[in-house]
């Protein structure tokens, strides 16, 4: 980035020339990464073993609607499309170039991209700073090439980006190995490509949608600040997830998050927390991990939410993207299986929430559909023979109860009496988004089908009470 | 139980008559629950909506090899089998009776079971202590009925048991809603039936095997101590999992675990930890949850392993059942995706492990198959282009390195170069069980297929580095 905080406090290693590009231009350039009208695939190949083949094929198979231009000096046609020797041979404008050539050629092709004024370039090619001396020189050269041009670079040494709306997809892995998540509301920025890819694959299988994914690798140019700023303005994005090993400029990132986290929740997983992890991070993406305690305090002060584990990331992001913030700490637990209710109560108490007595009005409403012998208190155990109607009556009462700030529903989908209509009942209760509604449910294939339906309706479901309550805590702690 | 510690310190509510049944007899009776030669299904039904139908059908469909006797005074034949009016009409001996009749008849049929000297009776029927005054009286009557007889009761108000070896299965839920786990090495005792069922269903989908499952509900007779003692002697069981809301006799349970946890690891999830959860537990299974801090200290002192969350349970149990205990705290991390390696190092440091420098010998062995530019240190990042051979060489070096006490392998299955043969490579490394080998791997369908293969080979895989390291800690803390 050549604007904003980092200009006044430059990175100690790399000195940026002060070139002021107007904000509106930057936004246009960033848009070219995620929503390009045309893409050049430099290093496209007919050979299925080459990354340039997979990326080209993915753009074609995933119905990317823009023009696709394969670039390879050795081919005339690739996958049925006319191949160009260089991007300079393409007459039409190109919004996005994906660079997949070996590292001895990658800087040269980026130079050609700058000459063609391609706004967005993703350099997948590895063999830069992470390699040692030779790579550092190559990376410096890349910086020099793009300096002062209108070309922005994501990478090098990265897996690039995925956008399920525009179908932009530079992930060089076939779909059978790495499933792509559906369209959703979470923007996911991962400094580590492989980590990001694994998490995306997991999210896809769980039916969790994303708005955008970026892995920027060695971060020669576009960094987390550029991306956060872009996603803050992006209408599809409701929450921003950041996996980071080390910030390029901690102070600037802090200032950015402090300003932007008022607008949308930002969740951060910091890797390289301690000495050993930090050392590992240094050789991984070549970044200095920095002091965790300083980082932790800064995350909190900036208004971001810290994910302590990799599972926290999407747990928190889903609560924050889908659900309103609770107005207070009084939580009702509703369950058809006592055990999970007990564990939820334990977790709520552990994380500082209250499980208040229910009002007489609410008790009476719930009692109306319960067997005579049942005593009604919070957690509300509507017993193993509960059907979806019993859930409906209870949820309506709890959603209307002004003394209850959020509802955790622990639903065992397996019981004989509970019909699949429980999904509609929960969706109806969630429709007005008056207060947070989080679901706990564990199980196998049948349960997971129902949970995916809930996910589509914007109701986050968690496999354990602990994870639901931690996510509720993240929601409570957010500035939303 | 009518022997052991609890006799000298009886439950304040229920006074047991001192009847000494020789240990060997008890062991025989317990075996009748899990491995019966014949089963009577009291309340069997032709009506698919009745639990007695599902249980009968499950015994037949799941290839239970013993005799199956439906009992129902209103039918002559059920699912093609001759139906009996009462168990007393069955001429052959019956090892196990499953009681599914309404609560107004359940005590009467148990009385008939005692008259027929049926050693094992599972009372699924609800409507006992959990109902209040009427139910308490009914439960007292049930106690009186079985007192002094040779009949032992699991339940009432429970889902009973599942044994994947003998195909004994009283879970009254159809297979499409609740998958049954494969044969394995973990015995799972759950005070909460619904919780247990949901976890079983989840385990089945993950390919995690169990040796036995029991949910004993109101615990009128057979309790956690009887079950722990039985599973300690059971050859198939390598680790025992206990979900408990409140012990019937805390002191006796403590003494039992203290004695038995030297033989096999016992993992306990205590629900009803705090005031709110404890209250919920009291109305759920009618047990007094007791003080968590006392319980926590007792768990530790007894040599059991505490699972803090429901996910911990099988995470820990799988490590403890499959893997040897590490001799020390020096851990090597091996990965083809830097991010997970960094997070693993963080988690290891957080939980008090060391990530030592590697010996020259080990570094040389690993260097032999790495690109020239790679620097080799722990965590060992064998880079995104690693194939299974690179893993094989590294694993061999680490398994032979006497300075390394355990290996955590963070494998991203999605990369282009990694073949499915990684499963064989990991299995070979694990074959001699010289030191713990735990895998971290996140992903979708493709990854999950490979992880299920690892599970079968006795290699526990975890979806996050944090969960692998917590499990390694449980393994380290165990007395194995």
For A198-210, the pLDDT digits (tens) are 999 999 999 999 9
Structural tokens at position A220: 């020669």
In this prediction, residues A35-45 reach a mean pLDDT of 97
CA distance B469 to B94: 47
B175 in contact with A, Cβ within 8 Å: no
The pLDDT of residue A130 is 84
> Confidence band (pLDDT; 50, 70, 90) for B292?
confident
Is residue B10 predicted with pLDDT exceeding 60? no
CB contact under 8 A, B272 and A416: no
Asked if the C-beta of B24 comes within 8 angstroms of chain A's C-beta atoms, the answer is no
B110, pLDDT greater than 90: yes
At residue B298, φ and ψ (nearest 5 deg) are -65, -40
CATH topology assigned to domain A159-322: Rossmann fold (3.40.50)
Q: Does B199 touch chain A (CB under 8 A)?
A: yes
Lowest mean per-residue pLDDT among A7-16, A426-435, B384-393, B415-424:
A7-16
Question: What proportion of chain B, given as a percentage, has pLDDT over 70?
Answer: 91
Fold of domain B35-157: Rossmann fold (3.40.50)
pLDDT band at B367 (very low <50, low <70, confident <90, very high): very high
CA distance A133 to chain B (A): 10
Check residue A5 and give its pLDDT. 32
Whether B198 has its CB under 8 Å from any CB of chain A: the answer is yes
Q: Chain B interface, mutation test: which of A160, A339, A371, A373, most B Cβ atoms within 10 Å?
A: A339
> Is residue A287 within 8 Å of A281, Cβ to Cβ?
yes
Answer for the pair A172, A124: CB distance below 8 angstroms, yes or no. yes
Separation of alpha carbons A134 and A127, rounded Å: 9
Fold category of B158-322 in CATH: Rossmann fold (3.40.50)
Comparing A156-165, A366-375, B209-218, the range with the smallest average pLDDT is: A366-375
Report pLDDT for B279.
62
Whether B198 sits inside 8 A of A442 (CB atoms) is yes
Residues 306-335 of A with CB under 8 A from B: 308-311, 333
Map tokens 């317990």 to a residue: B30
Element (H, E) at A279: helix A275-284
- State the pLDDT at residue A3: 33
Q: Tell me the shortest Cα–Cα distance from A423 to chain B, in angstroms.
A: 15
Nearest Cα of chain A lies from the Cα of B119 at a distance, in angstroms, of 28
**pLDDT tens figures, B55-102:** 999 999 988 999 999 999 999 999 999 999 999 999 999 999 999 999
Which chain A positions have a beta carbon within 8 Å of B451's beta carbon?
Answer: none
Distances in Å between the Cα of B477 and the Cα atoms of A236, A473, B163, B343, B460 are: 47, 30, 29, 22, 17
Confidence of residue A7 (pLDDT cuts 50, 70, 90): very low
Is the pTM of the predicted complex or chain greater than 0.95?
no
Q: What pLDDT, in 10s, does the model give residues B295-323? A: 888 888 999 999 999 999 999 999 999 99
Confidence of residue B15 (pLDDT cuts 50, 70, 90): very low
pLDDT band (50, 70, 90) for residue A2: very low
- Shortest distance, CA A348 to any CA of chain B (angstroms): 9
Check CB contact of A416 with chain B, cutoff 8 Å. Answer: yes
Q: How many CB pairs under 8 A join A and B?
A: 291
B325-477 — its CATH code? 3.40.50.261
Report H helices in B351-421: 360-367, 388-400
Tokens representing residue A204 in the block: 């896809």
From B435's Cα to the closest Cα of chain A, the distance in A is 22
pLDDT (0 to 100) of residue A166: 94
Find the CB nearest A373 among B131, B343, B377. Answer: B131
B459 vs A292, more confident: B459
Please tell me the distance from the alpha carbon of residue B161 to that of residue B61, in angstroms, as a whole number: 16
Provide CB contacts within 8 A for A258, sequence distance 6+: A301, A302, A303
pLDDT computed for residue A261 by the predictor? 93
Specify the pLDDT at position B35. Answer: 93
Average pLDDT over residues A38-49: 95
Domain ranges of chain A: 35-157, 159-322, 324-477
Q: Does A305 touch chain B (CB under 8 A)?
A: no
Give B 337-356 residues with CB within 8 A of chain A.
Answer: 337-350, 355
pLDDT number for residue A12: 39
Alpha-carbon distance of A391 to A372, in angstroms, equals 17
Radius of gyration for the alpha carbons in chain B, expressed in angstroms and rounded: 25
Q: Give mean pLDDT, residues A38-63.
A: 94
Q: Residue B44 pLDDT more than 70?
A: yes
Please name the residues in contact with A472: beta carbons below 8 A apart, sequence gap of 6 or more.
A319, A326, A331, A351, A353, A406, A408, A436, A438
Determine, for residues B205 and A345 on separate chains, whether the beta-carbon distance falls below 8 Å: no
B72: CB partners within 8 A, 6+ apart = B42, B43, B44, B45, B52, B78, B83, B84, B85
CATH of A324-477, one of 3.90.1150.10, 3.50.50.60, 3.40.50.261, 3.30.200.20: 3.40.50.261
List CB contacts (< 8 A) between B445 and chain A. Answer: 179, 205
Element (H, E) at B52: helix B51-61
A173 SS3 class: coil
Asked, colleague to colleague, whether B35-157 and B325-477 share their fold, the answer is yes
Q: What is the pLDDT of residue B295?
A: 80
Mutate to test the interface with B, among A354, A420, A444 (most CBs of B within 10 A): A444
Q: Taking Cα atoms as reference points, which of A373, A303, A307, A370 lies closest to residue A334?
A: A370
């Amino acid at each position: 980035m050549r604007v904003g905080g980092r200009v006044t406090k430059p990175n100690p290693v790399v000195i940026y020339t002060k070139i002021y590009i107007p904000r509106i231009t930057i936004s246009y350039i960033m848009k070219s990464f995620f929503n390009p009208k045309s893409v050049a695939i430099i290093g496209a190949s007919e050979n299925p073993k080459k990354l340039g083949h997979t990326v080209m094929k993915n753009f074609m198979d995933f119905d990317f609607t823009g023009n696709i231009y394969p670039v390879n000096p050795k081919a005339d046609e690739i996958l049925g499309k006319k191949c160009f020797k260089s991007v300079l041979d393409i007459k039409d404008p190109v919004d996005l170039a994906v660079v997949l050539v070996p590292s001895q050629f990658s800087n040269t092709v980026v130079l050609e991209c700058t000459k063609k004024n391609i706004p967005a370039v993703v350099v997948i090619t590895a063999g830069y700073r992470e390699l040692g001396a030779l790579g550092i020189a190559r990376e410096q050269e890349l910086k020099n090439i793009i300096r002062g041009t209108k070309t922005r670079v994501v990478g090098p040494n990265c897996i690039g980006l995925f956008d399920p709306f525009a179908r932009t997809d530079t992930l060089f892995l076939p779909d059978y190995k790495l499933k792509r998540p559906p369209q959703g509301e979470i923007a996911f920025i991962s400094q580590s490509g492989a980590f990001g890819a694994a998490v995306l694959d997991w999210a896809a299988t769980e039916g969790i949608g994303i708005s955008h994914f970026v892995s920027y690798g060695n971060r020669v140019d576009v960094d987390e600040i550029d991306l956060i700023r872009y996603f803050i303005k992006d209408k599809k994005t409701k929450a921003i997830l950041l996996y980071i090993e080390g910030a390029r400029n901690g102070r600037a990132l802090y200032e950015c998050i402090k300003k932007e986290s008022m607008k949308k929740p930002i969740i951060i997983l910091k890797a390289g927390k301690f000495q050993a992890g930090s050392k590992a991070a240094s050789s991984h993406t070549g970044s200095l991990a920095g002091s965790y305690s300083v980082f932790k305090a800064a995350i909190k002060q900036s208004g971001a939410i810290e994910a302590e584990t990799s599972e926290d990331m999407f747990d928190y992001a889903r609560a924050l993207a889908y659900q309103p913030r609770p107005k207070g700490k009084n939580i009702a637990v509703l369950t058809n299986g006592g055990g999970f209710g007990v564990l939820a109560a334990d977790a709520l108490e552990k994380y500082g929430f209250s499980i208040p007595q229910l009002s007489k009005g609410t008790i009476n409403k719930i009692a109306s559909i319960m067997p005579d012998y049942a005593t009604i208190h919070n957690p509300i155990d509507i017993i193993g023979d509960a059907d979806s109607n019993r859930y409906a009556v209870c949820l309506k009462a709890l959603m209307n109860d002004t003394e209850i700030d959020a509802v955790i529903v622990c639903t065992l989908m397996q019981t004989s009496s509970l019909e699949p209509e429980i999904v509609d009942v929960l969706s109806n209760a969630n429709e007005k988004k008056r207060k947070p509604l989080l679901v706990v449910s564990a199980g196998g294939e049948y349960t997971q089908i129902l949970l995916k339906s809930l996910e589509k309706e914007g109701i986050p479901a968690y496999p354990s009470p602990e994870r639901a309550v931690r996510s509720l805590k993240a929601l409570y702690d957010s500035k939303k």
